[in-house]
Amino acid sequence: MQAYMKSDMPYLGVSAVPLRAVCKAVFADFDYPASADWQADVIALWRGARFREERYAAIELTGIRAARPFQRMEAVALYEEMIVTGAWWDYVDAIAGQRLFAILKADPAPMKQAMLTWSRDANMWKRRSAILCQLNAKAATDLDLLYACIAPSLGSTEFFLRKAIGWALRQYARTDPAEVARYVAQHADRLSALSKREALKHIS
Residue 28 lies in a domain: no
Q: Is residue 184 in some structural domain?
A: yes
Burial of 171 (C-beta count, 10 Å sphere; 0-12/13-18/19+)? buried
- 8-state DSSP, 99: I
Task: Look at residue 16 and tell me whether its pLDDT is greater than 90.
Answer: yes
Structural domain count of the chain? 1
- Residue 204 has a pLDDT of 78
Length of the chain: 204
Q: Is residue 79 part of a domain?
A: no
Which amino acid type is present at position 20?
A: R
pTM over 0.75: yes
CATH number at residue 190: 1.25.10.90
- Show the CA angle centred on residue 91, arms to residues 22 and 36, nearest 5°: 75
User: Is residue 59 a part of any domain in this protein?
Assistant: no
The 3-class SS string of 100-158 reads HHHHHHHCHHHHHHHHHHHCCCCCHHHHHHHHHCCCCCHHHCCHHHHHHHHHHHCCCCC
pLDDT at 149 over 90: yes
Q: Does 201 map to a domain?
A: yes
- The answer to whether position 162 is within a domain reads yes
Q: Going by C-beta distance under 8 Å and a sequence separation of 6 or more, which residues neighbour residue 161?
A: 124, 127, 128, 131, 153
Report if residue 163 sits inside a domain: yes
- Residue 156 belongs to domain spanning: 108-204
Query: Could you read off the pLDDT of 57-66 as tens digits, one per residue?
Result: 999 999 999 9
Q: Residue 161 falls within a domain, yes or no?
A: yes
